[in-house]
Structure 1
Amino acid sequence: MQKMEREATRRVGADESIFCAAYSEFAPGVLSYLRSRGVEDPEGLTQDVFLALFPRLGDVRGGIKGVKSLVFSIAHARYVDEHRRRLKAPPTIDYDPAQDRRCSSSAEDQLLEMEASGNVKDLLNGLQHDQQEVIALRIVADLSVETTAEIMGKTPGAIKQLQRRALCRLRKLRPLGEDPS
């Protein structure tokens, strides 16, 4: 039994040294191959190639040429898989909020516009005292719900409700699309 364990340990050690040599020798070429094929993540796919290589090292025949052939066969197969995956995936388009016609100013944005124009005090006067405080702390001062709750001596849930009610009230006071100036 000990003889089999020693043999297995020796073989794994040999596989590791072959693997390190193969990686040093072929990784730059695999990376270049994958880059030239337009792969989205050539570094990641190169790592996948060598992860797939390691368990198969014991079965390789033909010395260094056999290892090279196996490495590039795996690289090509990974490229084909990635290419097929991209063909099946729906196209992605970067989102540009400036181009989105569906967007409208939120009550927070309107309040910040009012702040910039100096009319925020007038707008806040239409709210209850607690609502004014929540808006001033959450939106104008940009504090977290937890910090605002601590300052006001309320629970985070109460702060969220106060903010929601205040923003609804602001929308009624100043309908969307109304010019702040």
Structure 2
Amino acid sequence: MGAYDAELGAAVERAQRGDEVAFARVYRLVHPGLFGYVRGLVGDDAEDVAADAWLEIARDLGRFRGDGAGFRAWTATIARHRALDHLRRLKRSPRTSGIEQDALDLPSGQDTAAEALESLSTERTLAMIRGLPREQAEAVLLRVVVGLDGPATARVLGKRPGAVRTAAYRGLRKLAGRLAQGGVGR
């Protein structure tokens, strides 16, 4: 995500100086992945939770320090906190957690997360991911939907990279097994 993160970093810098067009660009670059992540955590309440997250992001933008990749991790952390707050209010637990880069680099081209997830619709994909245990689901969401690297994912989740790597591997294996069996309900 080199060029993407460079463009994002430059837009964030301009937005921090008050450039509204740059903030709109930041939003367009980050929101789709962030919204997918939030939707994977809270389901149909994602629009409200994402809106709350963006209010906090806009309010605290001047305090952010870092590059484009760091900004994506920072926004994912804020969105995660808003989603977990929302779930606590609803008195239910989230269905998601962490992942490491090498878990996505599975040996066979047929087993890669990208190929598996690209072959499904967004809604079906999110339903399958929500069906994973919490630790595995959130790892897949942060890595595949938000596009964070392994160390950033571990930081967002407050876990050690080894725990994230294990959760990711198990989650991707379960998704691959469900795809091989033909669907969500298995």
Normalising by the smaller structure, the TM-score range is 0.3 to 0.5
Between 1 and 2, higher relative CO (CA 8 Å, sep ≥ 6) is seen in 2
Larger radius of gyration: 1
| TM-score under structure 1 length normalisation | 0.38
